Amino acid sequence: MNEVNIMLAMPSLLEPLYIAFGWLTRVLYNFFGNYGLAIIMLTIIVRGLLIPLNIKSQKSMLKMQALSGKQAELQRKYGDDKEKYQEALIEMQKENGAGGLSGCLLPILQLIFIWPIFRIVSGPLTYLSQVSSDNINAMIELGKGMGDKVINGMVTATNHIGLVKALSENAQFLNECVKRGFVKMEQLVDLHFLGMDLTMTPAWNPKLYVEDPKTYFPLLIFPILVLATSILSMQLTKIMKPGYKEEKEAKEREKVNEARKGQSGQDDATANTMKIMNWTLPVIMLYTTFTMPAAMGLYWVVGSIMGILTQIIVFYMFTKPYEQKKAEVEAKKEAVFKKSAKAALESNNGGKASGKGKKGKKN
């Protein structure tokens, strides 16, 4: 089953989300008079609503890192008793406001929000033009009755991109639909953005670029930007995470330290697994961009940019101050340790000198 069929198979449980997102998109379209701008603003609003959750997740992560010392103490205390260790860990997290579901909830919500966005971009007659399902089905049947070439591609009550194309390109079909009262002329909307038809799907097949370069070459911008922004976001996530500098320094020390070569090999295997997982998402996003309307690619590009901006804001508001404070605390600890060591050394040397003095007097 491909992505389109998976999307269409989503349960009606999400119908309230479809209605809400559709209403908001229609309001934005009526305000801007441009389909692309409506999708961009919808993305900004949706991703903007997730920023507080993103900040909460980052705060929780910082608190978890700050509790790493206490977590190590719990591991030493309970040893192999994993059940008691987990209970103590959860209790400690509750007391310090760390952990929680915010870290898991954010990616789940981002995934859930894909469904209503896809429903809107694949069903503009329903959500933008407000054509009833009965009339959409009637137009589909009419198109089938007029011949196979009238409506090309898969068309259903929820995915009617082929029907939109037929209405815009086949004058006879459009006139018949209007005449029968299936659709009004004022209900038809312009689904172009910067000269690109956002109902079209970017193509893998090189033949299409030769046959219709004006249509397909501009659409390539979406897969390219989806891949570029997702890779950039992935790199920023790695660089801006708490403890990245220490982790990097530790890896460099491991490479130099030949005595830890066996452990380093195990760590390398874990790192390679993480790399594969990190690269999987950009590849999946690139693939799906070539299987969905270009409007979906526009949503992902703007969403990735919003995610990158959120990462930068969170880093400078929380992560960087935390790292600076942590460095200051470590510097103070080191200064106290050096001072204590110096005092102990001076005391020891003083004791030795005193002992020598007494010995000289004896002699």
Dist CA 201 CA 153 (whole Å):
12
- What DSSP designation does 291 have? T
Enter the tokens of residue 108. 């789940």
For 26, what's the count of Cα atoms within 13 Å in the CB-facing half-sphere? 17
The pTM of the full predicted model, rounded to 2 decimals, is: 0.77
| Mean pLDDT in residue range 225-246 | 83
pLDDT in tens, 261-291: 444 444 455 556 666 766 777 788 888 899 8
Q: What's the chain's average pLDDT?
A: 79
pLDDT 10s digits, 20-68: 999 999 999 999 999 999 999 999 999 888 888 878 777 777 777 666 6
Closest to 303 in 3D by CA, of 46, 55, 111, 20 = 46
For residues 98 and 51, give the distance between their C-alpha atoms in angstroms, rounded to a whole number.
Answer: 18
Measured CA to CA, the distance from residue 90 to residue 98 in angstroms comes to 9
Phi, psi of 196 (to 5 degrees): -100, 140
What value does the mean pLDDT take over residues 150-178? 86
Please give the Cα distance from 358 to 363 (Å, whole number): 9
For residue 6, the model assigns a pLDDT of 45
Q: Which of 316, 310, 312, 291 is nearest to 43 (CA)?
A: 310
Contacts of 233 (CB under 8 A, 6+ apart): 304, 307, 308, 311
b/e burial code for range 7-17 (CB count within 10 A of at least 16 → b): bbebeeeeeeb
pLDDT for 42 equals 95
- Amino acid 242 reads P
Burial 178-211 (b: 16+ CB within 10 A, else e): eeeebbeeeebbebebeebbbbbbbbeeeeeeee
- Looking at the predicted structure, is the pLDDT value of residue 4 above 50? no
Q: Is residue 152 pLDDT above 60, yes or no?
A: yes
Angle between helices 102-112 and 51-66 (to 10 degrees): 150
In 10 A of CB 26, how many CB atoms?
18
Mean per-residue pLDDT, 87-94? 71
Mapped onto helix, strand or coil, the DSSP state of residue 2 is coil
Q: Flag the least confident range among 144-158, 223-237, 245-259, 346-360.
A: 346-360
Q: Is the pLDDT of residue 231 over 70?
A: yes
